[in-house]
């Protein structure tokens, strides 16, 4: 597969954001100008010596920067930035990512998400200040993703497990489970409002959006498939938003390997066949709401 220099630039930006270092700090350490760094991020060819230094500074390998084989992302910041980059040119997206697909979520969900992600960071975790700063970076990326989506409107197929919706309603839109009872009831109301939002989205039949509620179990690791003009990209990720969020631990992966894409397409097609769609999906969500 030919090396895509625009992708190298995209990866470089994603890893830079995840590092917490500013463009000025990186440029100074590499003894280059900030303008040169930005040119690299836009896809301008960098010398291999510069790539070596960048990879070492950002804590990744040169093959990862070049996109050789599987791309590994040990940071939620880098992962969500890579999603944003893929969404810039994607015409069709298959999403299996927990009970809530961020691009289809309500504005109220976004407004509450920063608090939810912040409270998911344990009080005594190492480098908590850095983890909270990462939440701010993630929220900035998510805002840009939502804005991009609303401007472009790529087609989306969203697969959701009914069991995850039930758990979301039971636990509420919360970052941890030890909230005071009154606060937990409020978070449960937020979750119910978000499920109502999904029911509305299903019944309004927005162009290019298909939502399927699968009555049985779905894989625990989320995946997405992005169809782009010249390729498809599969992402697999332990990072999740909403109920029981995780933006701190795990390694996401990106690949365009034909076998991986074929297997995940097959899995998505099988799940779509089992899923409730249209009025049946909306009615299933209403039954779940009544039962929780």
Candidates 218, 165, 170; CA nearest to 196 is 165
Domain boundary among 47, 68, 89: 68
Residues 245 and 275 in one domain: yes
Place of tokens 């998400």: 113
DSSP letters of 244-272? S-BSSS--EEEE--HHHHHHHHHHHHHHH
Residues 78 and 210 in one domain: yes
Q: What CATH number does residue 29 fall under? A: 1.10.260.40
Tokens of 155: 């087609």
Measured CA distances, 248 to 29, 76, 118, 127 (Å): 27, 7, 11, 11
How many contiguous H segments (helices) and E segments (strands) does the chain have? 12, 8
Residues 96 and 50 in one domain: no
CA angle 185, 217, 76 (to 5 degrees): 70
Q: What is the pLDDT along the chain (292 residues), one digit of tens a residue?
A: 456 767 888 888 888 888 888 889 888 888 888 898 888 888 887 778 888 888 888 888 888 777 777 889 999 999 999 999 999 999 999 999 888 899 999 999 999 999 999 999 998 888 899 999 999 999 999 999 999 999 999 999 999 999 999 999 999 999 998 999 999 999 999 999 999 999 999 999 888 999 999 998 777 788 999 999 989 999 999 999 977 899 999 999 999 999 999 999 999 999 999 999 999 999 999 999 998 7
Candidates 264, 75, 289, 259; CA nearest to 191 is 289
Residues 44 and 168 in one domain: no
What is the pLDDT at residue 65? 79
Distance of CA 71 to the CA centre of its chain: 15
Helical (H) or strand (E) element with 130: helix 128-152
Contact 202, 150 (CB under 8 A): no
> Which residues 6+ apart lie within 8 Å of 246 measured at CB?
76, 120, 238, 239, 240
Q: What CATH number does residue 119 fall under? A: 3.30.870.10
Candidates 125, 87, 83, 90; CA nearest to 240 is 83
Contact 197, 206 (CB under 8 A): no
Distance CA 101, CA 248 (A): 19
The residue range of the domain holding 131 is 73-291
Distance of CA 136 to the CA centre of its chain: 15
What is the pLDDT at residue 3? 60
What is the pLDDT at residue 292? 75
Domain boundary among 45, 68, 91: 68
Domain boundary among 68, 96, 118: 68
């Amino acid at each position: 597969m030919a090396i895509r220099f625009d992708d190298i630039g995209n990866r470089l930006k994603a890893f830079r954001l995840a590092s917490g270092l500013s463009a000025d700090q990186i440029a100074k350490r590499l003894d280059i100008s900030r303008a040169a760094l930005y040119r690299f991020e836009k896809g301008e060819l960098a010398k291999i010596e510069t790539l070596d230094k960048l990879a070492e500074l950002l804590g990744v390998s040169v093959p990862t920067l070049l996109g050789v084989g599987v791309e590994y992302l040990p940071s939620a910041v880098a992962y969500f930035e890579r999603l944003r980059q893929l969404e810039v040119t994607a015409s069709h997206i298959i999403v299996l990512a927990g009970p809530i697909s961020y691009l289809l979520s309500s504005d109220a969900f976004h407004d509450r998400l920063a608090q939810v992600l912040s409270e998911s960071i344990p009080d005594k975790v190492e480098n908590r200040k850095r983890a909270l700063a990462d939440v701010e970076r993630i929220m900035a990326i998510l805002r840009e993703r939502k804005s991009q989506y609303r401007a472009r409107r790529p087609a989306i197929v969203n697969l959701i497990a009914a069991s995850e919706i039930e758990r979301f309603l039971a636990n509420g839109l919360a970052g941890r489970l030890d909230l005071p009872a009154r606060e937990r009831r409020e978070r449960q109301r937020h979750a119910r409002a978000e499920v109502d939002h999904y029911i509305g989205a299903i019944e309004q039949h927005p162009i290019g959006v298909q939502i399927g509620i699968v009555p049985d179990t779905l894989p625990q690791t989320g995946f997405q498939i992005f169809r782009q003009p010249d390729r498809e990209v599969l992402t697999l990720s332990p990072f999740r938003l909403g109920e029981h969020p995780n933006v701190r631990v795990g390694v996401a992966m990106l690949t365009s390997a034909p076998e991986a894409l074929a297997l995940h397409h097959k899995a998505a097609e099988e799940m779509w066949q089992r899923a409730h769609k249209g009025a049946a999906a909306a009615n299933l969500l209403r039954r779940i709401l009544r039962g929780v």
